[in-house]
Amino acid sequence: MTEAVTFLKENTRAKFDESVEVHVRLNIDPKKGEQAVRGSVTLPHGTGKTVRVGVITETKADEAKKAGADVIGGQELIDKIKAGNLPDVDVLVATPDMMPKLAPAARVLGPRGLMPSPKTDTVTPQVEAIVTSLKKGKSNFKNDNTGNVHQVIGKVSFTPEQLAENYNTFITALEGCKTDAHKGQFIATISVCSTMSPSVRTK
């Protein structure tokens, strides 16, 4: 992995600090719900990206504000979302009491990967804790419709050691998502690339 990262750092040509991404092909059938993969990971060195967090609550607004949430709202925010006016956030958190009210907005939020879910700890009464964690680099991941999982593990400016630690932490978290529904070898291939570079196979 360190050799792959070194190759990416030596071959970057962009004038900006490119993201480093991991792309994993899984041996799953994405059409089978029981084989769907969804999880979360807190990378030891973060992703290098400032994460914007929105919180839907009518009871924990003070906690959300204290933790640094970027957008906070209740029913009025839900109404805006249902009308197609999405908040400028990367992750959306909701308190459990708001989920019945938020359910009609799933058709808007779901395709964008913003629908809060207990599986990723984004439906929780512990608002301050989850917002703090997300701000520190906690990332949610899930397979796409072709059975692949994608995750940013940092920036090209990170040291090879930092990227390797983030990579290993993510792969460990992903492997932890394997269940009895997944038969045989869980991970088929792994490749790493930066925003503008070709990918390098690490498995």
Supply the CATH number for residue 80's domain: 3.40.50.790
DSSP readout, 116-184? --GGGT-B-S-HHHHHHHHHTTEEEEE--TTSEEEEEEEETTS-HHHHHHHHHHHHHHHHTT--TTS-S
Position 4 scores a pLDDT of 79
Instruction: Write out the residue range of the structural domain in which residue 62 sits.
Output: 53-135
Domain end call among 106, 135, 164: 135
Asked if residue 115 and residue 58 are part of one domain, the reply reads: yes
Q: How far is CA 14 from CA 52, 155, 157, 164, 197, in A?
A: 25, 12, 12, 22, 9
List, for residues 24-67, the tens digit of each pLDDT value: 999 999 999 899 998 889 999 999 988 999 999 999 999 999 99
Tokens, residue 153: 């593990």
Query: 17 with 156: CB under 8 angstroms?
Result: yes
Predicted model pTM = 0.75
**Low-confidence stretches of the chain (pLDDT beneath 70):** 14
Position 50 scores a pLDDT of 86
Structurally, the chain folds into a number of domains equal to 2
Position 165 scores a pLDDT of 95
Position 146 scores a pLDDT of 94
Query: 26 with 186: CB under 8 angstroms?
Result: yes
Position 54 scores a pLDDT of 98
Q: What is the 3-state secondary structure (H, E, C) of 40-108?
A: EEECCCCCCCCCCEEEECCCCHHHHHHHCCCEEECHHHHHHHHCCCCCCCCEEEECHHHHHHHHHHHHH
Domain end call among 105, 135, 165: 135
Position 14 scores a pLDDT of 66
Residue 18: burial class (beta carbons within 10 Å; 0-12, 13-18, 19+): buried
Position 151 scores a pLDDT of 96
Asked if residue 30 and residue 57 are part of one domain, the reply reads: no
Mean pLDDT of the chain: 92
Return the CATH number at 28.
Answer: 3.30.190.20
| Helix pair 160-175, 2-10: axis angle to 10 deg | 130
